[in-house]
Amino acid sequence: MRCLLLCLLILPNLLRAEDLEVDVELFLAVDVSRSMSPAELEIQRRGYAEAITSPQVLDAIAHGLLGRIAVTYVEWAGEYSQRVIVPWTLLSTREEARAVAHQITARFDAGLRRTSISGALLYAAGDFEHNGFHGLRRVIDVSGDGPNNQGRPVTRARDAALEAGFIINGLPLMTTDALSQIWGIPDLDIYYQHCVIGGPGAFVIPVLDWDQFANAVKRKLVLEIAGVTPQIQPVQFTPPVAYDCLIGEKMWEQNRAYFDIP
């Protein structure tokens, strides 16, 4: 019996020891909720593909301690709506980067309903297990154009991920259109700071215009791969003393009549 218990304790570590060590395991969680137009969804895919194959990102990978990272690209919307576009993949060479970029842009899918940042965080945290890699850092990178409005409160999912040792960074999409007037909030960068991100060196890079998207992703990836903490201040708002991290859920209740069937 004692031998059996010892084997059960040692076995997970033995399995983990077989994983390939990388500088960082990077989970790219990309919002595809229906508040984003088909054109915006395409801009996102092309922006990530451009950033991943950029000289700056490849140089950041090459100058890491091990010179390689692991990456996955997953689109998310509602609580249980996660779509894997690129499964966990080794990224260390220009050829591997081009292969990942090709997977991202091979086709362009339609958006999905609702916005559950908490669902994306919970899915991401579980997806690291048994992915075949062991990173010196484990980073969940969340982009999104609105606050959480489905699933458990985002702070609960964030706190669980932080307790498990993850770093969460944010790319709030603060572009404006007719849908953002209904479902968006003007201080989304502050929402991400207070309610979404966390861990050593966590940061937010806001995007105010779609023309900025590819460069923002490139900068974010370089910082995440290099493990550098940027000095980024909120774009246009001063953080309040307290912040209502349930604002998205309250907005959904207020605006859900848009989706109710008569």
What is the token pair recorded at 223?
Answer: 């910082």
DSSP 3-state of 120 = helix
Query: What gap in Å lies between CA 77 and CA 85, rounded to an integer?
Result: 14
- Could you tell me which residues come within 8 angstroms of residue 116 by beta carbon, excluding any fewer than 6 positions away? 76, 77, 78, 79, 81, 148, 149, 150, 151
Residue 7 has a pLDDT of: 47
C-beta separation of 208 from 173 below 8 A: no
Query: What gap in Å lies between CA 144 and CA 140, rounded to an integer?
Result: 13
What is the token pair recorded at 4?
Answer: 């059996």
**Amino acid found at 214:** A
Residue 181 has a pLDDT of: 60
Query: What gap in Å lies between CA 54 and CA 89, rounded to an integer?
Result: 17
Backbone angles phi, psi at 246, to 5 degrees: -100, 15
| Domains delineated in the chain | 20-257 (3.40.50.410)
- Look up the pTM and report it: 0.86
Q: Name the residue among 145, 159, 100, 141 with its Cα closest to residue 224.
A: 141
Q: At what angle do helices 213-226 and 38-52 cross, to 10 degrees?
A: 40
pLDDT tens for each residue of the chain, 262 residues long: 444 434 444 444 444 558 899 999 999 999 998 777 888 889 999 999 999 999 999 999 999 999 999 999 999 998 888 999 999 999 999 999 999 999 999 988 876 778 899 999 999 999 999 999 999 999 999 999 889 989 999 999 999 999 999 999 999 999 876 565 666 688 999 999 999 999 999 999 999 999 999 999 999 999 999 987 665 544 444 455 688 998 888 887 877 665 554 4
Query: What gap in Å lies between CA 95 and CA 101, rounded to an integer?
Result: 10
